[in-house]
Structure 1
Amino acid sequence: MILTLNNDIPMPALGFGVFQTPPDVTTDAVLAALQTGYRLIDTAAAYGNEREVGEAIRRSGLPREEVFIETKVWISDYGYDQTLHAFDKSAGKLGVEQIDLFILHQALPSRFDLTLEAYRALETLLADGKVRAIGVSNFMPEHLEALMKQATVLPAVNQVEVHPYFTQPGVQDADADRGILTQAWSPIGGITSYRGTGTSTFDDPTIAAIAQAHAKTPAQVMIRWHLQEGRCAIPKSVRPERIAENFDVFDLELTTDELATLGALDTGTRGGPEPTDITLENFGRPIPEA
């Protein structure tokens, strides 16, 4: 399944994420994903595993143009010149000359001037052909509004936390109104398991009932929910059987009622950090050179 970004670049609707995947297992996990059929790999400078992602892509033997690579600039590298150099660091670790989708990892509300300069650098990289598309991550509607007062290129993607327990309808609406694709991180609610409080999406009886009705797993149902609602989803795993399971969703069709039922599970509780808490003091850390 392919989605078309607002600059007419095609991107797979289902990708593979490597958030919190240790570098020593990243290469094998990404290689398993590519062998399964994934063609979108999402990483980030802050994950510390870009080099291993690049190694897996090379080992796969797939032509470079068949793999859509997405990575993110960390807040410590915001600023025009710093973000241009962040591209050099990421491209060097990935072992590529061009990155398919390059995005800002967070808004930096307390230093939005640096956020704007970082995005201006993304626009330069796009104009120079070093990236094929640019975007943002974890941007709330007010951040998008402030960005678009200065930006000349509309973000192609806004990657945010979306799963049945946290659907962020306001963010999704703001993205849709501007023609920005919403990409879901923690799309199957893995973060509801990490937190260890209350029921996780994997144990939710409503999701389990829908899964049982289709002879699928709860994870497969949640991934299909994203795809049918027009989002891009980037589930993660390091287990080959789970990697394959998460990709086996293209023979599943949820009903309109089932889609609505999944969306109605929203608790309004964010699993990730509050966007207003993202500051250089709290989250800044140097990103190593390539």
Structure 2
Amino acid sequence: MTSRKTRQSYGVRSAPYGFLLPAGILFALFFALPIGYAVWLSLHKVEVKGLGLGRGARSEVWAGLANYTDALTDSELLHGALRILGYGAIVVPVMLGLALVFALMLDADRVRLAPFTRLAIFLPYAIPGVVAAMMWGFLYLPDVSPFYFVLDRLGLPQPDLLDGGPLYGAMANIAVWGGTGFNMIVIYTALRAIPAEVYEAARLDGCSQFQIALRVKIPMVAPSLVLTAFFSIIATLQVFNEPTTLKPLTNALSTTWSPLMGVYQDAFVKGDIYAAAATAVLIAVVTLVLSFGFLRAANSRTKQEEAR
């Protein structure tokens, strides 16, 4: 009898681990194992003997931190990181600002056609990034774009959006167009979860709709804003589709315009998967540090406001 109770108690205690086991196996196979393999590759290199012909002429040897040193001293990687920072300085605040404005407008009491408007704003997010970049790329081309045709008929200047400074705005427009809908849905869902009694109390205190939005709604959806900013920062640091798709349309984009494009060049053009792995690990570490640094700063600010 005692042994049966012991087995039952052990089964109850081990049940949560049994439920977590499938997720743990998938995590190990498709997340932890690839990361470990990338780290292992980044610590090796190919050693070529003689002319590199014949069996045993090319062998994999230990490289230590040499690949990381080469990546950190690569000027192209540094310039790509700076370009991404400029790109992100446009994308993140504009996208989150529009998402917040749209969410507040849809949460208003007198809004009309709210379901259709939500779908219209969210729909661009459902379009694959490559398709969106290709579509906008042709709209940016003076020879085929209807916008340039209209500007020409009106006698207005026709800026080259795929060269120089406007290129950042052109690519940022693609990201904002595609990502605003997702962030808007996250913020709008948080707004709908706010109890109606909170709004009623604010109205009784004499608050206008603008004051309710500014002093009640925005502070209460601050966690959602932090979450969307967290995802947006990660997506910005890993930008690849937009510059890669637009590159055939302009000479202003190099093959290493973004750090991930440099990884692609090392791995699939130069055939140096070891250098590509080192650069990818560095990008992952920087993304992790910046993302969690942002989360920690946001959480500390939230705690300070709650303490007041």
* Short-chain TM bin: under 0.3
Structure number with the higher strand fraction is 1
Larger RCO (CA within 8 A; separation ≥ 6): 2
Larger-Rg structure? 2
Structure number with the higher helix fraction is 2
